[in-house]
Structure 1
């Protein structure tokens, strides 16, 4: 356990376990017409059924996309997880607890490529790059605030105050970690809302930090289920 605050602008996403492939969608879909013979799909080349995957996505037959599983280990600022946990259908979460362990002093500071200035009104706004001076102010103020907050946290712990009480002074810029488990359908819904893509039929305005998580999850998923991923993109990035 280190007691010296450190600062970072990146997030990490690791695929730790999965049972997910394009054939999972195919045998689940074909049970409606083939019954138990639908299991024959498991040993077949899914490329031959690319059209079926596209049909299911296009006409929004969603349940066949639920018969798979992916578990990710995500390390990100707490404020990212507070947005993440709004996704409840098809997701399971377990996050590290400030009640049961002393929290590490690792804090989020935006990187130089993070756009800082919001223009417009909610629902019709854009972010533009900040000036060098604004980036300096953000870094300086955040780091000072983080150091002060963590010092207060340490002071209470040293006085014998319970971790679950002392943690109240820590900011949402503190890094946390969690396991998140989903299926392809729930992940597509997440990506449709939390990433921006020119192929999307419906425009979205995600916060950049949760979009970073979504991008890395999508990279992993696209390798596991390339045909499903392609059909998602070809049909406007709308979850079926």
Structure 2
């Protein structure tokens, strides 16, 4: 299980002791605060703290004294305008801090988003738990034949069993050796900072990850996309549900303009205009490469 009974008891105690505040509060995010959302087989993501809400975005854009200067409908319209025209600074006025438990190989992909503050569990000072990500059978897939960084057909039968057995046995053996190398039972042992190098990339780590809403939206646009790797996408999807409740106006605009929208190049826009005039446009007459044309066809259906 992602949480021990002691950890769950600590979370319950935190949620049972609310405090009065003069800060802006998002009722939607308050419902998520501290509670872990289970992800993969041993992972989770939970909100530790947050600052701001939809009104904070509007307040920053207007540089106003507080709420009540405009109607809510105008606030929503302003947020959509800001999103539509890529005015990112007001969204940076909202921040959120997550506690995430995730496999190391997912963390290495996640850390590519360098616009956050991160503090990771240290295997130099502490011993990592014997917890590994072992994919569910329907997540075991062969290499894609058309995409060098994607998945193809799901493995089945004896092949799936063979791969699962190797993943489990290799992870267990590596951890057995990790434990054996550490200083214990009277032996001098190897330093933790060196012993950790023998652990596999599917061992679980944890970190606190704090970012602003603008950069969080960038993370979600890439990692909650259908083309993102499954193991990081499920974390992004869990975060999406929290953000939707935290800043509903901003998230709706994000879904519309970023997740559901598309950016067209000047050549692509020219092709659309020609098509609207009744002209038959092909890849050869579009001025685009085959790859660009294929992506363009995907956008316009």
Normalised by the length of structure 2, the TM-score is 0.67
Shift of 1:119: 1.8
Deviates more, 1:225-234 or 1:128-137: 128-137
Moved more, 39-48 or 10-19: 39-48
Q: Say if 2:101 is the partner of 1:69.
A: no
Alignment of 1:43-122 (within 5 A): 46-89=72-115, 91-122=116-147
Instruction: Please list the CA deviations of residues 99-130 of structure 1 after superposition, one character each: whole Å capped at 9, or x if unmatched.
Output: 00011110010013315123234468553322
Q: What SS does the aligned partner of 1:106 have? A: coil
Please, which runs of 5 or more residues in structure 1 have no aligned partner? 1-7, 32-37, 198-204
Is 1:167 matched up with 2:196? yes
Residue among 38, 45, 55 paired with 1:13: 45
> Does residue 1:149 correspond to 2:170, yes or no?
no
Q: 1:191 aligns with which of 216, 220, 224?
A: 220
Deviations 1:164-204 (A, max 9, x none): 1111100110011111111111111001111225xxxxxxx
In the alignment, the residues of structure 1 paired with residue 155 and residue 201 of structure 2 have an alpha-carbon distance, to the nearest angstrom, of 22
Which has the higher Rg, Structure 1 or Structure 2?
2
The Cα offsets for residues 43-98 of structure 1, whole Å up to 9 and x where unpaired, read as 86644411111110011011100001111111110011101111012x11111011
d(CA) in 2 for partners of 1:188 and 1:42? 26
What is the aligned residue count?
217
Match of 1:180 in 2: 209
- Determine whether 1:234 maps to 2:284: no
1:24 aligned onto 2:56: yes
Higher relative contact order (CA closer than 8 Å, sequence separation 6+) = 1
Output the CA distance in 2 between the equivalents of 1:47 and 1:123: 46
Structure 1 CA distance for aligned equivalents of residues 149 and 191 of structure 2: 44
The alignment's C-alpha RMSD in Å is 2.0
Deviation at residue 132 of structure 1 after TM alignment: 3.2
Do the aligned residues in 2 keep the contact of 1:106 with 1:175 (CA within 8 Å)? yes
Name the residue aligned to 1:221.
243
Q: Distance in 2 between matches of 1:43 and 1:134?
A: 64
CA contact under 8 A between 2:140 and 2:160: conserved in structure 1?
no
Gaps of 5+ in 2: 1-39, 262-301
| TM, length-normalised to structure 1 | 0.84
Q: Distance in 2 between matches of 1:96 and 1:43?
A: 44
User: Against the structure 1 CA distance between its residues 45 and 161, is the aligned structure 2 distance closer, same or farther, given a 3 Å change threshold?
Assistant: farther
Q: Which of the pair is proportionally richer in strand? A: 1
**Pair 1:136-2:136 in alignment:** no
